[in-house]
Structure 1
């Protein structure tokens, strides 16, 4: 698996509150690492590994921060709305969730995962629904068609993460087939 490069979307620097952080590479740099650092796509941390090795460096304020498993603000907000620890969210639904900026209803929060969006989750007072994301304005609203994945509650996420993961994967698989 290749290591990430470039500004990490959703990673907001705790020092300056900007979304301008790149991966921080530790150890003896290779020629490729130097080239990426010159282009501002990574930062070089040095050869000596600190005890708690940060994984990001802010290009604006140069703060080295973050750990590998830290959630993005959107991922943490989704876990908070669902009322579960972030680790339980990852176990059932994985990582990479981001808030959908188009709001149809102020009572329902939408988050999508995948690039291009493959799975959507809506959260309201009653629980959450997994659905196929909208692909165009002409489609019906996904929150009116919760039949993709059905309605789930917090307990489902905590005690049946494998079932939720299967439903999310089935939706993503159907979505990927539609790209072909």
Structure 2
């Protein structure tokens, strides 16, 4: 199983149209998988492993469908805005893109972020796009590509100069990753805006275990 467990964000079931699908796992399951299946975080597909098996199952309508290489709804939207096929988008900008509605402004820019925690942002406006570091708070107003300091790129660059775009994207993501902190409680990488330095923990752990420290 290559992806994360639980409901797959952006995976819209082609049967019922709901975003309620979990990974479908094949092969002999261990104890952890049985527990995850009992909690509805994965579905067990049996021990027989064959080619071109469905990768997800919808918890709402029980439809088994799709593959991990299929674009999510947000990735499909980004590929459409850049006017490229999904494999071209992945070659230039990688995968895992999700729409940031809170960042969209009056200037018509559509923003997407990738990575967990978010490491790279892409803003698309007409025939142009920019690569940027995600804001620490997406509730802030973000200037559009025509007003910002980020270098403006043409949509054709994704198709004709994917290696250049990939290098620029990785440079931004790498710089962002250097700011990450490690939570001493869950031991997961945490973005600086979600890290409580005084406690050495992420906001989620600090909130969850605050009562126990009293």
Q: TM-score, normalised by structure 1?
A: 0.89
Is the aligned partner of 1:33 residue 2:36?
no
Q: Deviations over 1:38-88 (max 9, x none)?
A: 111110111234553000011111110111210001000100110000000
CA contact (8 A) 2:127 2:155 kept: no
Q: How far off its partner does 1:2 sit?
A: 6.1
CA contact (8 A) 1:92 1:162 kept: yes
| Equivalent in the alignment of 2:205 | none
Normalising by structure 2, report the TM-score: 0.75
User: CA 1:177/1:145 → structure 2, altered by over 3 Å: closer, same or farther?
Assistant: farther
Query: 3-state SS of the aligned residue for 1:122?
Result: strand
Matched, 1:20 2:20: yes
Closer, same or farther: CA 174–53 of 1 in aligned 2, 3 Å? same
- State the alpha-carbon separation in 1 of the partners of residues 173 and 68 from structure 2: 25
Judged with a 3 Å threshold, the aligned counterparts in structure 2 of structure 1 residues 108 and 29 are, in CA distance, closer, same or farther, namely: same
Question: Larger RCO: Structure 1 or Structure 2 (Cα < 8 Å, ≥ 6 residues apart)?
Answer: 1
Q: Structure 2 vs 1, CA of residues 80 and 61 (structure 1 numbering), >3 Å: closer, same or farther?
A: same
Please provide the CA RMSD for this pair: 2.1
Measure, in 1, the Cα distance between the counterparts of 2:156 and 2:3.
35
Shift of 1:23: 0.5
Q: Which residue does 1:145 correspond to in 2? A: 148
Assess if the C-alpha contact under 8 Å between 2:15 and 2:61 holds in 1.
yes
**Which consecutive unaligned segments of at least 5 residues does structure 1 have?**
none
- How many positions carry a matched residue from both structures? 178
Structure with bigger gyration radius: 2
Stretches of structure 2 lacking an aligned partner (at least 5 in a row) = 182-214
Q: CA 1:96/1:55 → structure 2, altered by over 3 Å: closer, same or farther?
A: same
| Whole-angstrom distance in 2 between the partners of 1:127 and 1:93 | 15
1:178 and 2:175 are equivalent in the alignment: no
Post-superposition CA distance 1:1-52 (Å, at most 9, x none): 9652111111111111111111001123233322221111110111234553
Confirm or deny: 8 A CA contact 2:25 2:55 kept in the other structure: yes
- Structure 1 residues 1-180: aligned runs within 5 Å: 3-49=3-49, 51-102=51-102, 103-105=104-106, 107-136=108-137, 141-143=142-144, 144-147=147-150, 150-180=151-181
Counterpart contact for 2:105–2:141, Cα < 8 Å: no
